[in-house]
Structure formats: structure tokens, C-alpha cells
């Protein structure tokens, strides 16, 4: 009988259960990869080639679809998405750690505990519930523009971000704060010089998750940026793509490919931090 490293008998997995597990994983991988495969292959095909064989690999790298996509206002919408995402991330990277630090270090006080649970309650409210009030108030404040959209992203990101960051900071010992105070640091200096660098793993996790959300979000831009096509982000551009180009699926998929490429690259660099950051922020 095979033994484990600790000396106990190794537990053999049922072959049927193991085969079923891998079959489920294989089906899941196919479901995830098939849309990406179609997006990549159709982007490099002509209409005639797609009509002949929809699922086959392209015979060559036809770049005409990409040329047609970028010939219009694609770069304007790309700049809109990039501006909204980057500015939102900068504020989130500053505000979420600051608020979380204040709450975690004063959690014994009822006021800070109330603030934490009040912010946390936003997780349980579906966006559809607040959609019409958001539209009404933002219209009254004349914020149906990019600035209003950025403010909404910052506000909506606080719930998840503060939940994860407070959980992370509860494991950072208070002795570090006390030692820095003895050395003559103010609260602000303690946060900037000691706490913020220690929070980088959870900050990277929060930034990655929010980048994925903001870059791909459709609902909020549809509500707040629908006054003019010049305000559109890339998801709105893709949604209205068929109006400009009819139902040319090759050009549409070329637009999909260009839209998702930046965020796929970002996720590829940052994905290793996500699981670790989520685990440290939510479970410790």
C-alpha cells in the first residue's frame, strides 16, 4: 500500500470520480475558450472565408477588418475608456487604503464599526435597485459625463475594496504603528511609509478586479454617457457597432479582439496576485 510522506496510507481517488472531474474541467475549458477562439479566428478572416468555414482556422492573417475598425472613431472611444479607467484607479488606490486604515485601526469604536458595516451593506444592494435614482441625481447635478461616471465607479468600488482591505489590515500588528509613533512619525507618515507598502498585495488585487469591471462595464456608461456618441466607451462602441457596419461579423469580431486585448494583457500580468490577495483580505 502506498504511503504518504507523513507515514500514513495514501488515499486513492476513485478512477470514475477522477475521470468525471477531468471531463467536467475539460467541458468548462472548452466553454471558456470557444468564444476567445472564435473572436481570434474570425478577426483574421474575410467574409467569404467565414461563409465557407466558420470554425476553421484562417488561411492567412487578413488585417483588413482591423483597418476598417480603427478607421472610424475607435481611437476616441479607446481614449475615453482608458481615461475613465486610469483616473478611477488612481482615486481608488488612494481612497480605499486610507479609509480602510482608519476603520481597521479604530474598529473598537462604534462610529467606525457602523461606517464599516454601512459601506459593506452596499454589496447586498443590486445595481438595478439604484439605477433610476442614480440617473435622476446625476442628471440633477449635471454629471451625465465622464466625470460623473468616474465618481460613480469610485463610490461603487468602496464596498468590495474596503471589505478586503480591512480584513487584510487586521493582520498587520498594531505594534508597527506604535513603533513608528515612538520614532516621531505622525499618523499620516505611518500610513504612507509603513502601512501602504505593506498593503501592496491587496491593492494590486483591488486594482486588477476593478480594472476588469470598469473596462468591460456596459450599464453605467449606457446610463451616464448616452447623450453623445463622442462620450462612448468601448463597450458602447461595440454594442452600436452593427449600426455602423451592418452585420459584418468579421469586422465586429475584430472590434471585440481589439477591445479585450489590453485587459487580457493586464490580467495576464496581474492574475497571480488575485487569489492570494482575495484570500488574505477575506479569510485571515
- Say whether pLDDT at 50 is over 60: yes
- Say whether pLDDT at 5 is over 70: no
pLDDT tens profile 230-239:
888 988 888 8
Select, from the ranges 85-89, 142-146, 177-181, the one with the highest average predicted confidence (pLDDT): 85-89
Exposed e or buried b per residue across 185-213, where buried means at least 16 C-beta atoms within 10 angstroms of its C-beta:
beeeebbeebbbeebeebbbbbbbbbbbb
Question: 273: pLDDT confidence band, cut at 50, 70 and 90?
Answer: low
Question: 94: pLDDT confidence band, cut at 50, 70 and 90?
Answer: very high
For residue 283, what pLDDT is reported? 45
pLDDT tens profile 197-231:
888 888 988 988 899 899 989 989 988 988 888 88
Name the residue with higher pLDDT: 74 or 270: 74
% the chain with pLDDT above 90: 23
- Say whether pLDDT at 92 is over 50: yes
68-282, CATH topology level: MetI-like fold (1.10.3720)
Q: What angle do CA 145, 147, 151 make, to 5 degrees?
A: 120
Exposed e or buried b per residue across 6-24, where buried means at least 16 C-beta atoms within 10 angstroms of its C-beta:
eeeeeeeeeeeeeeeeeee
Whole-number CA gyration radius for the chain: 24
Q: Which residues contact 207 (CB under 8 A, 6 or more apart)?
A: 89, 92, 93, 270
Residue 108 carries which DSSP code?
Answer: T
Name the residue with higher pLDDT: 7 or 250: 250
For residue 82, what pLDDT is reported? 93
DSSP string across 119-148: HHGGGGS-HHHHHHHHHHHHHHTT--SHHH
Q: What whole-number distance in Å separates Cα of residue 61 and Cα of residue 46?
A: 10
Name the residue with higher pLDDT: 101 or 122: 101
3 three-state secondary structure = strand
- Say whether pLDDT at 284 is over 80: no
Q: How many CA atoms lie within 13 A of 195 on its CB side?
A: 34
* Beta carbons of 276 and 201 less than 8 angstroms apart: yes
Question: 243: pLDDT confidence band, cut at 50, 70 and 90?
Answer: very low
For residue 83, what pLDDT is reported? 94
For residue 204, what pLDDT is reported? 87
Question: 73: pLDDT confidence band, cut at 50, 70 and 90?
Answer: confident
Tell me the average pLDDT across 93-101: 93
pLDDT tens profile 137-173:
888 888 888 999 999 999 999 998 999 899 888 888 8
For residue 274, what pLDDT is reported? 62
Q: What's the chain's average pLDDT?
A: 83
Amino acid at each position: 500500500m502506498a504511503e504518504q510522506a507523513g507515514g500514513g496510507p495514501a488515499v486513492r481517488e476513485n478512477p470514475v470520480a477522477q475521470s468525471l472531474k477531468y471531463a467536467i474541467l475539460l467541458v468548462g475549458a472548452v466553454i471558456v475558450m470557444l468564444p476567445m477562439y472564435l473572436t481570434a479566428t474570425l478577426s483574421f478572416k474575410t467574409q467569404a472565408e467565414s461563409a465557407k468555414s466558420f470554425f476553421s482556422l484562417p488561411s492567412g492573417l487578413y488585417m483588413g477588418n482591423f483597418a476598417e475598425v480603427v478607421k472610424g472613431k475607435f481611437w476616441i472611444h479607446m481614449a475615453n475608456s482608458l481615461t475613465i479607467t486610469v483616473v478611477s484607479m488612481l482615486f481608488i488606490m488612494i481612497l480605499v487604503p486610507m479609509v480602510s486604515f482608519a476603520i481597521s485601526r479604530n474598529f473598537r469604536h462604534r462610529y467606525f464599526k457602523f461606517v464599516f458595516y454601512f459601506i459593506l451593506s452596499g454589496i447586498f444592494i443590486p445595481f438595478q435597485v439604484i439605477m433610476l435614482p442614480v440617473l435622476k441625481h446625476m442628471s440633477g447635478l449635471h454629471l451625465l459625463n465622464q466625470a460623473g461616471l468616474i465618481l460613480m465607479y469610485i463610490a461603487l468600488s468602496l464596498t468590495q475594496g474596503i471589505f478586503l482591505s480591512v480584513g487584510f489590515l487586521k493582520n498587520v500588528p498594531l505594534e508597527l504603528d506604535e513603533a513608528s509613533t515612538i520614532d516621531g512619525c505622525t499618523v499620516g507618515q505611518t500610513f504612507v511609509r509603513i502601512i501602504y507598502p505593506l498593503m501592496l498585495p491587496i491593492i494590486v488585487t483591488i486594482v486588477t478586479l476593478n480594472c476588469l469591471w470598469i473596462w468591460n462595464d456596459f450599464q453605467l456608461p449606457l446610463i451616464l454617457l448616452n447623450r453623445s456618441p463622442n462620450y462612448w466607451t468601448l463597450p458602447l462602441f461595440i454594442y452600436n457597432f452593427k449600426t455602423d457596419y451592418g452585420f459584418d461579423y468579421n469586422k465586429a469580431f475584430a472590434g471585440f479582439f481589439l477591445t479585450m486585448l489590453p485587459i487580457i494583457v493586464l490580467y495576464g500580468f496581474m492574475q497571480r496576485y488575485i487569489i492570494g490577495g482575495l484570500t488574505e483580505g477575506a479569510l485571515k
